[in-house]
Structure 1
């Protein structure tokens, strides 16, 4: 069974999907981390992010390993390094690149092949796994999403203001919904879950219920 969880930035997809996968005993696939990893590696190598060909070469040479709690790039643990505001802001260079997107989509499908999997991102239910048995569109209000991201960054030691985070989020929302490839789309057969006012545990509980309902309906 493939469970896809798509939604806008700050909706809490990664943490919810990881917890859901643990509860179900499924593999967890954090696809956003893959695009972040490409940008991180390019910056480490001194590659200009605007150089589309060079960026694609970086992506083609990477070995990205997604664990339940870690992200490795060529055996280097980049779990925390790829979550900074700087990497978040620059991820668009990889996410908007058709060649990189095609490469990573192939890797995502290969990682899920033969496994029960919870996968999260922007285009998992619409593009990567259109035949997934259970699709969820996880969302929340702009303010709620911004506050979550702000508190996460502060906890990581970054110096940002809530207004800065909200502005970056608006820009990201615009890019995510209008990009030519892999745009954020709510699949017509996805269950919409708005997490405003819900605790992390409540979100996972509801996701678990949705999965069980789909299992019964199969």
Structure 2
């Protein structure tokens, strides 16, 4: 994939379970653009670390695993060396490990160029935690999507229950609070809104309303 600085990018950053992935997917569909789920790259790394029994505290070894990822996104699925690992990436333990290793500077460096390579075609919707601040600081539209932690815990709980996965709401709430603290306080690329980002609080908004708001911001830039 070739980097194309002329390709427009909309970044959607925000905390865990704020709805970034859902909103990014629908906005991409509406505009006919490519999509980058940056969090999936960290979860993929976490999956490889787990499967290969790499010491998760060995930053250099984890970074090496990140550099060697054989990954493609096809029709909403995430392929690791041609294996569809979309569902495996959604396991809570993989998400927790991904949050931990995402704080490693060497891992973030290993994945930075790969993320920028997704900038191609008609446009790119990039969702994550540092898309607007670090990966695509020149993006013409940056969204910072937030929701109160109780709403996010309820959403995650419903997602897991709907998939037939047992879940405890209190545990999910505690996990989200811990992730928020870790993501916002890490030394490298902490979770924060870019100075020129539009903040959308989706706590009381439907998915359609949130998507419409993002598209309206984009339409305003075209006038």
* TM-score, with length taken from structure 2: 0.93
Structure 2, unaligned runs of 5 or more? 1-7
Q: 2:184, 2:167 → 1: CA distance?
A: 25
Q: 1:175, 1:32 → 2: CA distance?
A: 15
| Match runs of 1:77-156 below 5 Å | 77-113=84-120, 115-156=122-163
- 1:16 matched to 2:23: yes
User: Helix, strand or coil: the match of 2:137?
Assistant: coil
**Deviation of the 1:54 alpha carbon:** 1.7
**Deviation of the 1:131 alpha carbon:** 0.7
**Deviation of the 1:94 alpha carbon:** 2.5
**Deviation of the 1:71 alpha carbon:** 0.7
CA contact (8 A) 1:18 1:68 kept: no
**Deviation of the 1:98 alpha carbon:** 1.0
Tell me the equivalent position of 2:4.
none
For each residue in 1:122-163, what CA deviation from the matched residue of structure 2 results, as whole angstroms up to 9, or x when unmatched? 000011111100011111111111111111122222211111
- 1:44 matched to 2:51: yes
**Deviation of the 1:68 alpha carbon:** 4.2
For each residue in 1:151-178, what CA deviation from the matched residue of structure 2 results, as whole angstroms up to 9, or x when unmatched? 1122222211111100000000000101
Q: Which of 163, 168, 173 matches 2:175? A: 168
Structure 1, unaligned runs of 5 or more? none
Tell me the equivalent position of 2:198.
191
CA RMSD of aligned residues (A): 1.2
CA contact (8 A) 1:28 1:68 kept: no
Deviation above 2 Å: which 4+ runs of structure 1?
Answer: none
For each residue in 1:188-214, what CA deviation from the matched residue of structure 2 results, as whole angstroms up to 9, or x when unmatched? 101111112211111111111111112
- 1:202 matched to 2:209: yes
Q: 1:94, 1:22 → 2: CA distance?
A: 30
**Deviation of the 1:66 alpha carbon:** 2.1
Alignment length (residue pairs): 216
User: Helix, strand or coil: the match of 2:200?
Assistant: strand
Q: Which of 180, 188, 213 matches 1:181? A: 188
Q: 2:75, 2:44 → 1: CA distance?
A: 16
